[in-house]
Structure 1
Amino acid sequence: MPLHPLAPRRLYRQIADQLRGLIRAGEFPVGSRLPAERDLAVQLGVSRPSVREALIALEVEGLVAVRMGSGVVVIASDTAPSATPVDAPFGPFEVIRARQVIECELAAMAAQAADAATVDGLQQALAQMRADVARGSAPVQGDRQFHLRIAEAADNGPLLRTVAALYDERNTPLFEQLGQHYETLPTWRAALDEHQAVLDAIAGHDPAAARAAMHAHLQQSHDRLAGLLPSGG
């Protein structure tokens, strides 16, 4: 059963559907490995991040196991009735791109409007992140506070609500499973430096630098999760 090129519409779902069908048909029996992400991307005519989202969706469903360093192994021939359904309307990388569009401008607005209380709040959030990383924990709470406090500084309620909603997309099974594999203490340490660059630009009332620093941070976040950077980068 051949793979078919896909149209760009919720690609991770379409990719997952094709691979699920191949597994059920016995093209990839239990115990076998799926082709590498890069090879699947070429065969399907899609991006590697879209393939990664699809593989993570199949893992959430219990069909495959993503084993770091040894590929993706088929562990079941069909989805178990008790498996967590993957029905997120947006993929993680789509969410990050939306955040990039919104939060870069909010960082610039924060740099224009920031007062001492804003800078202090961002410093506290970053300190919480650093403490969590030092304890070996993912600093999600401090990270969320950092990004929301930038939105608060822009003094725009709808945008603040949007930033909160986009950040909380992390709580979907697809995003959580992706993070379990590809968000590590080394990647969070890199993210700390990126947050510091955003904070420095806002504290320095430099909108252009704040916009650029936020863009760089979210791009790096995207690329780390997508496997487009060396491990730990």
Structure 2
Amino acid sequence: MSAPHRPRGGALRPFVRPRLYEQLVERLLDHIQAEGLKAGDRLPAERELAAQLAVSRASISQALVALEVQGVVDVRHGDGAVIRDVPPERQVLAALRARRDRLRDVIEAREALEVKLAGLAAERRTEDDLAAIDAALDEMARDIAGGGRGAAGDERFHAAVTAAGHSGLLARLMAEIAELIRESRVESLSQPGRPRESLDAHREVAAAIRDGDAVAAAAAMGEHIAAVSDVALLRDA
């Protein structure tokens, strides 16, 4: 009896369905091209886009964030999405998928570096370090209260914690991935309710650092990074 036929390795692979936000990014790029929109022009309001595409406003928001990170649009609070650049559609989608792949690596790096830095900050922080951390929290809180994402204050907070760790090597490693973290920060802080949640988590980290509790500071930072890593870009469709 002859052996049963087996497909060659890799010949049959699971069909990967595009995520919803990827489909919406394509539709928005198609709209920009079809309407001949250029830098400085404005996209329709999120509510209008959601109605036309028969999806939720949250889904539209996620797609706009994906375009924002790629530099295609500038999403302004209370002012809608303004076009910054109109690169080829294929280029945008390829960059989007590449960013999704490297985002997992960025999260792993943050877990390794920032958890350790938070613990060191609790042990080594100075009064100047604590003042810098508090100033970052205040900036983030003001921005969120005004309807913003708090991104600048968020970045300033993590930089202050890194500085408070007083580790030259870890600080240099953080600088190496700073731009990649900045991309993931925009993605994360655009999730509904995330800015306020991140601010509360930052305050827990800051309290542990102020108390000199290295274990609690590291644990709080670890929980924070795990929470902010829940982004649409990494979710299954």
Deviations 1:26-52 (A, max 9, x none): xxxxxxxx5777xxxxxxxxxxxxxx8
Counterpart in the other structure of 1:200: 207
Listed as ranges, the gaps of 5+ residues in structure 2 are: 1-10, 32-52, 64-86
- Indicate the larger mover: 210-219 or 95-104: 95-104
When residues 60 and 106 of structure 1 are mapped into structure 2, their CA distance, relative to the original with a 3 A threshold, is: farther
Return closer, same or farther for 1:112/1:132 CA change in 2, 3 Å cut-off. Answer: same
Find the aligned partners of 1:3 and 1:36 in 2 and give their Cα distance: 21
Aligned equivalents of 1:150 and 1:185: distance in 2?
Answer: 25
Runs of 5+ unmatched residues, structure 1:
6-17, 20-33, 38-51, 74-78, 229-233
Retained in 2: the 8 A contact 1:148–1:164?
no
| TM superposition score normalised by structure 2 | 0.60
Deviations 1:142-194 (A, max 9, x none): 1111111111122222311222332321455xx58x728x7246111011110
TM-score by length of 1: 0.60
Give the aligned partner of residue 104 of structure 1: 115
Is the contact between residue 107 and residue 151 of structure 1 (CA under 8 Å) also seen in structure 2? yes
CA distance in 2, matches of 1:151, 1:219: 18
Q: CA RMSD in A?
A: 4.0
| The one of 168, 189, 193 aligned to 1:157 | 168
C-alpha contact 1:187 1:224 (8 A) present in aligned 2: no
Identity of aligned residues (%): 25
Q: Identify the range of structure 1 (156-165 vs 79-88) with the bigger mean alpha-carbon deviation.
A: 79-88
DSSP 3-state at the match of 2:138: helix
Q: Which residue of 2 aligns with 1:179?
A: 187
Deviations 1:55-111 (A, max 9, x none): 4897599489995467999xxxxx946743515595223212210111001100000
The yes-or-no answer on 1:4 pairing with 2:17 is: no
Do 2:187 and 2:231's aligned partners in 1 also have CA atoms closer than 8 Å?
no
Moved more, 217-226 or 203-212: 217-226
Secondary structure at the aligned position of 1:91 is classed as: helix
Tell whether 2:134 aligns with 1:123.
yes
AA aligned to 1:107 is A
Look up the equivalent residue of 1:169 and give its one-letter code: L
Q: Is the 8 A contact 2:29 2:89 kept in 1?
A: no
Give the 3 Å change call, closer, same or farther, for CA 116–138 of structure 1 in structure 2: same
Give the greater-gyration-radius structure (CA): 2
Q: Is residue 210 of structure 1 aligned with residue 217 of structure 2? A: yes
SS at 1:223 equivalent: coil
What secondary structure, in the 3-state scheme, does the structure 1 residue paired with 2:230 have?
Answer: helix
Residue 132 of structure 1 contacts residue 139 of structure 1 at CA under 8 Å; is this kept in 2?
yes
Does 2:152 align with 1:141? yes
Work out the CA distance in 2 between the residues paired with 1:220 and 1:203. 22
Is residue 62–residue 83 contact of structure 1 (8 Å, CA) maintained in 2?
A: no
Q: Which 10-residue stretch deviates more, 160-169 or 98-107?
A: 160-169
Whole-angstrom CA distance in 1 between matches of 2:163 and 2:219: 19
Do the aligned partners of 1:144 and 1:167 also contact (CA within 8 Å) in 2?
Answer: no
Aligned length: 176
